[in-house]
Amino acid sequence: EAGVAQSPRYKIIEKRQSVAFWCNPISGHATLYWYQQILGQGPKLLIQFQNNGVVDDSQLPKDRFSAERLKGVDSTLKIQPAKLEDSAVYLCASSLRDAGGYTFGSGTRLTVV
Amino acid sequence: QKEVEQNSGPLSVPEGAIASLNCTYSDRGSQSFFWYRQYSGKSPELIMFIYSNGDKEDGRFTAQLNKASQYVSLLIRDSQPSDSATYLCAVTATTDSWGKLQFGAGTQVVVTP
């Protein structure tokens, strides 16, 4: 079974620029999550999709972050404009109801300078 | 703010000894509890989950849950250098894997030869 695919692996941008991350979940997994992990902290949920509908985006900074999940499969997370404090690893995860817990992708490490 | 608390460590454990990690949570509605292992520069990897009070064993790992005291622990028996990592505790309020996970900041474990 292929895992959760994410790209790019690394990205360095200047503040006020925009950036986009892509995620392809495990085939058949209806639920997809984007987490932000700042160095030294645990992951924090940004947004949760069920198929292509948003279940929870209460911690997504909507003035600069946006996310979509087209056709209930791939997802894109965008930041525009980026701030220094957005430097973090952005993790995508997907889950299958009976699996218990979910599987993370390898993440995208974003550095804003 | 619902919180998940862990000692940050580092927890230094001699090779072959038992590592004991603790996690407390504030939300009494929490139903499912997970332990993830995260190697430096890698994404979190699920190692255990537990739903019911008591102990659950999987190989060298044992998870212990006490909902009345609102804590969950992880024991690693016969610790190996490959167990050196950060261990993240996570909880969710739902009884299935579709719920968002609230993560602690993690406990760093260092197994010394």
Contact status, residue B8 vs residue B108, Cβ threshold 8 Å: yes
Tell whether B52 lies on the interface with A, counting CB pairs under 8 A: no
Cα–Cα distance for residue pair A69/A65, rounded to 1 Å: 14
A31 close contact with B: CB closer than 8 A: yes
| B71 close to B23: Cβ distance less than 8 angstroms | yes
Q: pLDDT tens across B16-41, in order?
A: 999 999 999 998 888 889 999 999 99
Amino acid at B37: R
Number of other CB atoms surrounding residue A43 within 10 Å: 28
How near does any CA of chain B get to the CA of A16, in Å? 26
Name the DSSP letter for residue B104: -
The CA distance from A108 to the nearest CA of chain B, in Å, is 10
Instruction: Tell me what pLDDT residue A2 has.
Output: 78
Q: Is the predicted pLDDT of residue A67 greater than 70, yes or no? A: yes
Which residues in A15-105 belong to E strands, given as ranges? 19-24, 31-37, 44-50, 53-56, 65-69, 75-79, 88-95, 103-104
CB atoms A106 and B43 under 8 Å:
yes
Residue that the structure tokens 């197994």 belong to: B111
Neighbours of B80 (CB within 10 A): 13
The Cα–Cα gap between B68 and A71 comes to 43
Interface check for B98 against chain A (CB to CB < 8 A): the answer is yes
pLDDT of residue B92: 86
Percent of chain A beyond pLDDT 70?
96
Instruction: Determine which of A104, A106, A108, A109 to mutate to test the interface with B (most B C-beta atoms within 10 Å).
Output: A104
End-to-end CA distance of chain A: 37
> In whole angstroms, what is the distance from residue A19 CA to residue A32 CA?
20
Structure-token pair, residue B2: 């619902």
CA distance A89 to chain B (A): 9
Residue from the list A40, A42, A89 with its beta carbon closest to the beta carbon of B88: A42
Using 50, 70 and 90 to split pLDDT, how confident is the model at B97? very low
Average pLDDT of B80-105? Answer: 85
Q: List Cβ<8 Å contacts ≥24 apart for A49-56.
A: A49/A75, A50/B98, A55/A31, A55/B98, A56/B100
DSSP code, position A33: E
Q: What are the pLDDT digits (tens) for B52-92?
A: 999 999 999 999 999 999 999 999 999 999 999 999 999 98
- Number of Cβ within a 10 Å radius of residue A63: 8
